[in-house]
Structure 1
Amino acid sequence: MSLDLGLKGVHVLITGAAGGIGLEAVNLFRQLDARVTAHYNSKIGDLAALKDVVSIQADVRDEASVDSLLQRAAEQNGGPVSVLIVNHGIWPSNNAPIADMGLSQWQNTLAVNLTGPFLLCRAYLRTLRDADAAVKDSASIIFIGSTAGKFGEASHGDYAASKSALMYGLTPTLKNEIVAIAPRGRVNSVNPGWVATPMASETLKDKAFVERALATTPLQKVATPADIARQIAVIASPVLSGHVSGMNIMVDGGMEGRLLFPPRA
């Protein structure tokens, strides 16, 4: 991207950065000359080859691990994080209607997809309090939501509930709270539909499923990780989006809803 987005030297932390949207975002922010810290859970993957990126392992479900992540990011990458991109998440592939879902699945999905973002945002805001003016001027939290958070998703209510909480609970709440710490701080959510990532690869092999998934999508395509990463960069930019906060930005090809699946008898 040739346009100066005002992200040169800005410290960006991307969670769930070992693959898919996260890894694409890492590479894009590197191109934009940001200082990138990449979080991963268990497998570092392609991040290991990126010598200009600080890669840090953390369990987002664990309070001490998350606090350490923000502290280590500041120590190893030139100071406090300015832009937090909450990208990590799990989507259990088994179909489990609420009536049949095990409590352990529900609790683990919310621990990763909702408690993790809470812990990350809390640790980020605490470190932001003591940051200098330049860090605060670029302050931004970006959640990666989902069309599931808007329309729901039958047999994946745990995932849908966690994403809806980010989009419609934390985003509007935090956009009002962050300005008490960083007066120009912003909070937004970028919400994809189906994206061709490793997490979705098995599901997207089913052509009939893809046809149903795109039935209400005018652009008739599954997004690429680059489609989403570029939108994240635009929202992170204080130049392009400095007056945008509290927004849910749907990056879904114009999706209007979901077909019932399986159909009602």
Structure 2
Amino acid sequence: MDLGLENVHVLITGASGGIGLETTRLFLQQGTKVTAHYNTNAASLNTLATEFGSDKIRAAQANLSAEEDVVRLFSNGNSALGPVQVLVVNHAISPPEDVSVVDMTLDRWRNTIDTNLTAAFLVSREYLKQLESAADELKSRAAVVFVGSTAGKYGEAGHADYAASKSALMYGFMLSLKNELVKIAPRGRVNCVAPGWVRTPKKEEKLKDPVFVHRALATVPLKKPAEPWDIATQVVCLSSTAISGHVTGHVVMVDGGMEGRLLNKLSSDQVLEAL
């Protein structure tokens, strides 16, 4: 099926690993031009440039919490590949340590909110600004897709900072932005994809633990974590005006049917007996 994405300029934040890398690859397979943002390591993106050509993908470093870096990211990308038509806000941090609200430092809270939410605001704002001067034909394919999380819907004890940042992104910010984008691009759309557990390199070790897997998937009917491909396909589909042109303001939960967090957990011995 032709998704109508040939030569569309897509900017993907957090493109160098896990979900971002798979999303970048899938967009390139659809014939798009991609500005692939990274923070510290571009090695995986260099591999994609070799595979698809440097005229199709441009790796770009930026600290997305810094206004000047975000302005530079769009300015350089526009100069190289034309105005950004599709924005995928995928970057995020989730501190690995479980810390309750009563013990959480203000520095941790601020760093998570700034990285996940404030940076998303800065990137979205710059996207709107550069779109204002774009030609109407380019505006006709305008779309924003945020990558949220089941933590934003259900919360996550020990990670209130992460859950709060994702919830704000998925609902308050996304639902406001979809009503503002159309003032600049009348057919522009804003949606969100919210994964549950995904088998990424960062989560690989945790997903080797049968006790952890049992707890993580205890309310998931499909009884398996997602693969990055499962998330990437939904992002690309929502970016396509050809197949999602009348879809805006929605959060697509890619969570295997999760119904919530299991609060009354089995002990390790009970889990091992059940396996």
Deviations 1:164-191 (A, max 9, x none): 0011111110000000000000000000
- Tell me the residue number matched to 2:261: 258
Question: Given residue 82 of structure 1, which amino acid in structure 2 is its aligned partner?
Answer: Q
- Tell me the residue number matched to 1:228: 231
Deviation (angstroms), 1:261:
6.8
Deviations 1:38-57 (A, max 9, x none): 00001112101233310100
CA contact (8 A) 1:191 1:249 kept: yes
CA contact (8 A) 1:13 1:36 kept: yes
- Tell me the residue number matched to 2:102: 99
The match for 1:26 among 24, 36, 54 is: 24
- Secondary structure of the residue that 1:50 maps to in structure 2? helix
Question: Given residue 169 of structure 2, which amino acid in structure 1 is its aligned partner?
Answer: L
Deviations 1:123-167 (A, max 9, x none): 000000000112111101100000000000010101000000011
Higher-Rg structure is 2
Q: 1:76 aligned to 2:80?
A: yes
Unaligned ranges ≥5, structure 1: none
CA contact (8 A) 1:154 1:261 kept: no
Q: 1:187 aligned to 2:185?
A: no
CA contact (8 A) 2:25 2:48 kept: no
The match for 2:60 among 47, 56, 61 is: 56
The match for 1:5 among 3, 8, 14 is: 3
Q: 1:174 aligned to 2:181?
A: no
Distance (Å, rounded) in 2 between the aligned partners of 1:6 and 1:15: 22
Distance (Å, rounded) in 1 between the aligned partners of 2:41 and 2:171: 31
Provide TM-score, normalisation by structure 1: 0.96
CA contact (8 A) 1:16 1:40 kept: yes
CA contact (8 A) 1:91 1:199 kept: no
> Cα RMSD between the aligned structures?
1.3
CA contact (8 A) 2:215 2:265 kept: no
CA contact (8 A) 1:19 1:45 kept: no
What pairs with 1:91-130 in structure 2 (closer than 5 Å)? 91-130=94-133
Once structures 1 and 2 are overlaid, which stretch shifts more, 147-156 or 192-201?
A: 192-201
- Tell me the residue number matched to 2:269: none
Question: Given residue 256 of structure 2, which amino acid in structure 1 is its aligned partner?
Answer: G
- Secondary structure of the residue that 2:218 maps to in structure 1? coil
* Count of residue pairs brought into register by the alignment: 261
- Tell me the residue number matched to 2:139: 136
Instruction: Indicate how the Cα distance of structure 1 residues 106 and 8 shifts in structure 2: closer, same or farther if over 3 A, else same.
Output: same
Once structures 1 and 2 are overlaid, which stretch shifts more, 127-136 or 198-207?
A: 198-207
Distance (Å, rounded) in 2 between the aligned partners of 1:130 and 1:261: 54
Distance (Å, rounded) in 2 between the aligned partners of 1:49 and 1:224: 20
- Secondary structure of the residue that 2:20 maps to in structure 1? helix
Once structures 1 and 2 are overlaid, which stretch shifts more, 168-177 or 191-200?
A: 191-200
Question: Given residue 74 of structure 2, which amino acid in structure 1 is its aligned partner?
Answer: L
Distance (Å, rounded) in 1 between the aligned partners of 2:131 and 2:103: 42
Deviations 1:198-236 (A, max 9, x none): 232333232211111111100111000000000111100
Provide TM-score, normalisation by structure 2: 0.92
Deviations 1:73-97 (A, max 9, x none): 10111x1100000000001100011
- Tell me the residue number matched to 2:215: 212
Distance (Å, rounded) in 2 between the aligned partners of 1:254 and 1:41: 32
Once structures 1 and 2 are overlaid, which stretch shifts more, 98-107 or 117-126?
A: 98-107
Question: Given residue 64 of structure 1, which amino acid in structure 2 is its aligned partner?
Answer: E
Deviations 1:8-44 (A, max 9, x none): 1100001000110000011100100011110000111
Distance (Å, rounded) in 2 between the aligned partners of 1:226 and 1:74: 28
- Tell me the residue number matched to 2:205: 202
Deviation (angstroms), 1:103:
1.1
Distance (Å, rounded) in 1 between the aligned partners of 2:63 and 2:137: 29
Distance (Å, rounded) in 1 between the aligned partners of 2:140 and 2:41: 33
